[in-house]
Structure 1
Amino acid sequence: MKKIIYKCVALFLVCMFLAGCWDRTEINDIAFIVSSAIDKKKDQYRIAMQIPLVGQLGGQTGGGGGTAGSETWYVDSASGTTIREANNKLQTSLSRTINTSHRRTVVIGEAMAREGVAPVFDILSRNPQNRLTALILISQGEARDILNTDVQMEQFPAEMIRELAIMASKRPVFLSRFMSDLLEKGSDPYAPVITGSKTKPGGKGKSNLKIDGLAIFKKDKLVDIFKDDHMTAAQILLNQARQPEFILDLPNQMGKASIQLQQSKASFHAAEKNGKLSMTIEVRAKGIIMENQSTYETRENDQFYIIQKALNRAVKENVISTVHRLQKLEADPAGFQDQTIRSMDTKNLQKMKWDKVYKDMEIHVIPIVTIEQGGVLYKTISH
């Protein structure tokens, strides 16, 4: 009798471990989000999400915004008085459960960014499903339009957005890094700006995406977008410039030259005298002549050093102009305040009101940029 009881108990215990996948979630029941866009209009937040259509990824690439035919991705959106409410409304229109653990990029509309991005990071940091390794970008115009762009070189826009963000700087701006700059005292956040553009393969205009600026924040609010020379100089200040180029107008109207900087590095040193702060910025870099449309020869002679001197002057002028623009905005993405805290006596610093001190801070730029390569052709063919 005891043997029968033991066998029944053993059988019962074995059955407990053979319960199967009663709580399973099938992959075709999940909507994997690869990119999100967040906009705000008046008092309404609008969330847009991009979902790859896995069944279509093996077919023809390109096309967007639907489930019919050969489109490889689908974008849906919803609005609400809070981001969470908009997210919940979006879920009601999807037949699959939203999963953001594979999200690679988050695009925030310019209007939303100017009002403040704190609500975005509140919800992103509370839900453990949200990965803070996603990249953050700011769109000029509505962020939803970025997700709906029919890109040409990738299977869906999220991948294009990700690749552009990675190429925009030495260290891409992840959500975690943006949040760190936002919360820590001594520096302000920044992020790349993405916009829609037109490409003309074969002479026919087609939609595309491009990085078109650097978004500058003061605390959690977007205050300006730097482009062209100011964007380049800002990235040099941030030590994020990836091979920036300077197109120089050379002295005596001798033409132009394009110089690409390699291994650029900016370092800061703060000093205080009679209650006035000064910041010395040293920029070190190596340059390569990529194009020479001037009459100057690029071998090591006096003409070569004229080009090098013009390059140093351009770097200095651009950096000073960019810092002055940041001072007017009272934005500090380069971390001048943090560097001042490290360099100066804490007692003297506590007596100084940073906002006023920062606006009046004297700027000294020391460029140490040498041209190491002038190319095989030291003299232009046309001269």
Structure 2
Amino acid sequence: MKFQKLRYLLLASLLLTLTGCWDRQEINDVAFVMGTAIDKSDKQYRATLQIALPGQLGGAGSKGGGGGTSGGKSYLMQSAEGKTLREINNRQQKANSRELNFAHRRVILVGEDMARSGIEPIIDILGRIPENRLSALMIVTRGEAKKVMETDIPLEKFPSESIRELALTSMKEPRSLKHVVNIMIADGVDLALPYAIVEKSDAKLIKMEGLAVFKNNKLRGFLKSDQATGALLAMGEANQPELVVPPPAGEEEIAVQIQEYKLDVKPIVNGDKITMKMSIEGRGVVVENESNYDIDSEKNVQALEKKLNQKIKDDILKAMDRLQNEYKADVVGFGKIIYNEQPGEWKKIQNRWGEIYPEVEVEVKADIHIENLGAVITPLGRKESHLIND
């Protein structure tokens, strides 16, 4: 009798797991948002959604997904304005026959004007609604975010996915919404995000041009080219960067890719006088030698390494000079490093860090060894008699 009651109780408990899909949504009733572009419009916001058209996902001329059209783009762009992002989303929902679903959104673009006015107001809704992905990547655009988002890229069905792939390779640790929030609420570090542009020479080409630098969560300016590389190296976020250096002797240039490197930053604190000793060690590979410099000897390779390490040092110091004196933004996180290494000293200077940071002395030591010269050693197409040694 006892076992029979237990069996009935077990069977009854199983009913709780067999209630069916009471909250299901038919695919025909959902509009999947792939990306969002947020811009500033007068005193309001403008949000542009990139919505997948299911009928186009099978390729040109496909039919399915309960909607869409055959042929044409695989996405729809929809913009609306409002005082808050929530108000905008509500307006966009009222203009859609399907329920907007943000669970698949993986890219959030922030326009230049929006970023300069401050990103704090728009962060809340992006993290408060559980449907929103905290893993979505946040990227700043030069100019309007909408124009970048609606760029029709031939290789991808959705421009937002192309932008995401570019952002994934721009830094070692891509700037997700979660990462952005963690930096915004942390002491002793400022935010830096990758920024995208549409190439003027090709309206169908988007590229990541460098870093957008923030101070107090407001965009202060941009770093690109060598300065962006220098800042990323100092942050420990450079993702296999390629540096072009002049040869120790001869003409043209040599390109070296840093495949692995280790960054170590040690603070030396003596009251308000602070020195940050930065050390970079790693290995590189020659990926192009268009010069007439002969690298077929250990002596010449060592001379090239010296040039490379000086280039790294110069790029970092130039980036730091601009960050400290023009933008006054601690994107490397010197303050956070002091807090972690010497919390007692940080407590003394924390409230005056904005005044102290521009005066921090930065010392850089680079020690990158070239371990691979490529499939060939001597420059192809050049006679050995034309090669130059150091």
Change (3 A) 1:206 1:67: farther
Q: Deviations along 1:274-332, whole A, 9 cap, x unmatched?
A: 53111101011211111223332212332222211110110111111111111121211
How many residue pairs match? The answer is: 361
Q: Distance in 2 between matches of 1:275 and 1:17?
A: 64
- 2:312 pairs with 1:338: no
Secondary structure (helix, strand or coil) at the match of 2:173 reads coil
Q: Distance in 2 between matches of 1:260 and 1:227?
A: 18
Q: Distance in 2 between matches of 1:303 and 1:255?
A: 16
- 2:259 pairs with 1:257: no
1:35 aligned residue: 35
How many Å apart are 1:377 and its aligned residue?
3.2
Query: Which stretch shifts more, 295-304 or 316-325?
Result: 295-304
Q: Distance in 2 between matches of 1:171 and 1:152?
A: 27
Contact 1:91 1:97 in 2 (8 A): yes
2:282 aligned residue: 285
Q: Distance in 2 between matches of 1:255 and 1:372?
A: 22
Q: Percent identity?
A: 35
How many Å apart are 1:251 and its aligned residue?
3.9
1:48-63 superposed matches below 5 A: 48-60=48-60
Contact 1:137 1:192 in 2 (8 A): yes
Give the counterpart of 1:321 among 318, 322, 347. 318
Contact 1:80 1:86 in 2 (8 A): yes
Contact 2:36 2:47 in 1 (8 A): yes
Contact 1:45 1:80 in 2 (8 A): yes
Q: Distance in 2 between matches of 1:18 and 1:299?
A: 72
1:1-383 superposed matches below 5 A: 24-60=24-60, 68-70=69-71, 71-197=73-199, 207-273=204-270, 275-328=272-325, 329-344=327-342, 346-347=344-345, 349-351=347-349, 353-380=352-379, 381-382=381-382, 383=386
How many Å apart are 1:39 and its aligned residue?
0.4
Change (3 A) 1:21 1:316: closer
Change (3 A) 1:126 1:307: same
Q: Distance in 1 between matches of 2:275 and 2:84?
A: 44
Change (3 A) 1:268 1:17: closer
Structure 1 gaps, min length 5: 1-15, 200-204
Q: Deviations along 1:20-50, whole A, 9 cap, x unmatched?
A: 7675432211111111111012201001111
Q: Distance in 1 between matches of 2:44 and 2:272?
A: 46
2:8 aligned residue: none
Secondary structure (helix, strand or coil) at the match of 2:199 reads strand
Contact 1:83 1:119 in 2 (8 A): no
Q: Distance in 2 between matches of 1:161 and 1:87?
A: 22
Contact 2:338 2:345 in 1 (8 A): no
Secondary structure (helix, strand or coil) at the match of 1:33 reads strand
Contact 1:67 1:73 in 2 (8 A): no
Secondary structure (helix, strand or coil) at the match of 2:318 reads helix
Alignment TM-score, normalising by the size of structure 1:
0.88
Q: Distance in 2 between matches of 1:24 and 1:245?
A: 49
